[in-house]
Amino acid sequence: MRFISWNVNGLRAVLKKGFEDIFLALDADFFCLQETKLQEGQVSLDLPGYESFWCYADKKGYSGTAVFTKHTPISVTRNLGIDEHDHEGRMLTLEYEDFYLVCVYTPNAQDGLRRIEYRLSWEDAFRSRLCELDKVKPVIVCGDMNVAHEEIDLKNPASNRGNPGFSDEERSAFSELLASGFTDTFRSLYPDKRDAYSWWSYRAAARQRNVGWRIDYFLVSDRLCGNIKDAYILPEITGSDHCPVGLDMLW
């Protein structure tokens, strides 16, 4: 069973760059998007065999998540059910018989960490929700989580220490999430793999030089670790400042 996650940084833009061909070539069972930057009805997609589920931000052209799936879910839940966190379209939860699938676009702490208090409030609420779900059945979590967890997860850790996405607070929150019963699938398989990134700045030819960050993840409940077949990053796929990441599971 194949899962793909991609922060497209605007679905309308990436549709002009071959998105549908990429989508069909990857042939995923579940294809999760972040930062769709859409409102309902703004795009028309021809993706035979897939059902689509969307979570939109109140603000036009901002944030947003979506999941395309070959498998009809038992239920679909949008956002966290907490008013403070439910206006930016950041979370979709699909329930299946054997697991929950969560697609998330974690808030950015922003320059100068000016949104760090909100970010940490989100982290607490998000972790709490995942733990609640995990008590019922295992969870597969994917998305742009806006943090490079360890120094190996970005090209220049020393010069980025304390910057958004690599602050002590955000890294600690991610560590706390993993300690709550979740596994970073890519790092579990490739603990020492360097220069494996999923996001690059548009500045200074960062992508061409592979000066990047790994901030897009697949996490699974610890008890699903034996089901992991492979976890991977697809940097050859362009169209966004992020590339897709993938997870193949044995089921």
Q: Which of 50, 56, 144, 217 is catalytic?
A: 144
Q: Which of 50, 105, 197, 217 is catalytic?
A: 105
Query: Between the CA atoms of 80, 86, 89 and 90, what dihedral angle is there, to the nearest 10 degrees?
Result: -50
DSSP secondary structure string, 22-45?
HHHHHT-SEEEEE-----TTS---
- Residues 6+ positions from 233 with CB-CB distance below 8 Å: 186, 196, 197, 198, 214, 216, 243, 244, 245, 246
Residue 144 annotated as catalytic: yes
The alpha carbon of 2 is separated from its chain's Cα centroid by a whole number of angstroms, namely: 15
User: How far is Cα 248 from Cα 56, in angstroms, rounded to an integer?
Assistant: 27
Q: Which residues are catalytic?
A: 105, 144
